[in-house]
Structures are given as structure tokens and as C-alpha cells.
Amino acid sequence: MDYAGRHAADLEHLLASERLLTDGRDLFWEFQERAGGDRNLVNLSKGGQKVFPEAVMRFLREMEWGRDRFASRWWPGAVPGEGSVVVDPRFAFGAPTVHGTGVRTEDVFSRFSAGEPLADLSDDYGLTLEQVETAIRFEVQLLEPERIAA
């Protein structure tokens, strides 16, 4: 973050800026060197190393931005507004939830891990079986060794 601090000092809330992006592993900063010039992307996690935007942009556009140009919601693995799981700081203290329900994916997964049947989870939370399975799959992804080691 030292690189960001030196090159983005004009932003009061750097970590919530629309110009700060992530692919879930690294932080990237989008900037324009001169008016009318191309947009550049640097990897802040790698000390400001430039990256090829087209190679990473599909992973970086999962954020929904407010009118104030600050992040308002994250749609992991989906285009904003089209995902089944959403992270919204206004609901469930920012924990991932099943979109449109407020049900935390962690709660569904915890009960599933304890051996409760999918149908019971569906009934208890008022979710469809597809929503229950989506919540479980999302939480399982978080546990994958390659994501943890990265």
C-alpha cells in the first residue's frame, strides 16, 4: 500500500475508491497518466507492477459503485446485479448473503456441515433448494486450498 499512498494521496478514502480494484487476491489501481491517454492498471500488491488490463478486467468488475463513486456492493463471481450471492455492508454486517434474502451463506453452510438436510434448510430459511445449494457452493469455494494458499 506504500505505492498507493505515494501515487494516490489525493483520495481521502483510497480503499473504497472505484479506481481500486481486486481479483480476490491482489489489489490493482487504475489510473490515467495524462488527459485523453489510455488507462493503466498497476498491481499494488506487487509494488506497482504494471499489468495488462484485458487479462484481469473480467475479474475486477464484480463491484457495484454508488453515485458517490465508492463501492456499495460486491457480487462475487458475477456481474453486478446478476449474482446469487452479494456482499453489502448494509446487510448482515457485510457478510455474504443469498441475494434478495438477507440470509448469510455462512449460516446455511454451517448447518449443512452439521448434517442438516437441504430440504430442512430450505424450509427454515425460506430459500429454494437452488439458493441453498448456491450458498453452500459459495462457502466451499472459500475453503478451497488454492484460494487459501494464494
Domain CATH number, residue 97: 1.10.10.10
Query: Do 83 and 108 share a structural domain?
Result: yes
User: Backbone phi, then psi, for 97, in 5-degree steps?
Assistant: -130, 160
Query: Do 11 and 83 share a structural domain?
Result: no
Integer Rg of the chain from CA: 18
- Ramachandran assignment for 81, one of left (phi > 0), alpha (psi -120 to 50 degrees), beta (any other): left
Query: Do 116 and 69 share a structural domain?
Result: yes
Sign of the dihedral defined by the CA atoms of residues 58, 60, 64, 65, in that order = negative
Query: How many domains would you assign to the chain?
Result: 2
Query: Do 33 and 66 share a structural domain?
Result: no
Query: Do 98 and 124 share a structural domain?
Result: yes
Q: Return the beta strands (E) in the chain as ranges.
A: 20-22, 27-32, 39-43, 49-51, 63-65, 71-74, 85-87, 96-98
Place of cell 454508488: 66
Looking at residue 99, its pLDDT comes to 96
Query: Do 66 and 56 share a structural domain?
Result: no
Q: What's the CA gap between 63 and 139, in Å, rounded? A: 19
pTM, two decimal places: 0.64
Query: Do 96 and 40 share a structural domain?
Result: no
Please say which residue of 41, 60, 79 terminates a domain: 60
Measured between its terminal Cα atoms, the distance across the chain in Å is 18
Query: Do 149 and 134 share a structural domain?
Result: yes
Give Cβ neighbours of residue 120 (< 8 Å, ≥ 6 apart).
none
Please say which residue of 60, 76, 107 terminates a domain: 60
Query: Do 130 and 70 share a structural domain?
Result: yes
Q: What are the pLDDT tens digits along the chain (150 aa)?
A: 454 445 554 555 555 565 666 665 677 767 666 555 667 777 777 777 777 666 566 666 787 878 876 778 889 888 888 999 999 988 999 999 999 999 999 999 999 999 999 999 999 999 999 999 999 999 999 887 654 444
Domain span holding position 9: 1-60
Query: Do 75 and 55 share a structural domain?
Result: no
Maximum distance among all alpha carbons in the chain?
Answer: 58
Query: Do 141 and 88 share a structural domain?
Result: yes
Angle at 95 between CA 91 and CA 98, to 5 degrees: 75
Query: Do 35 and 16 share a structural domain?
Result: yes
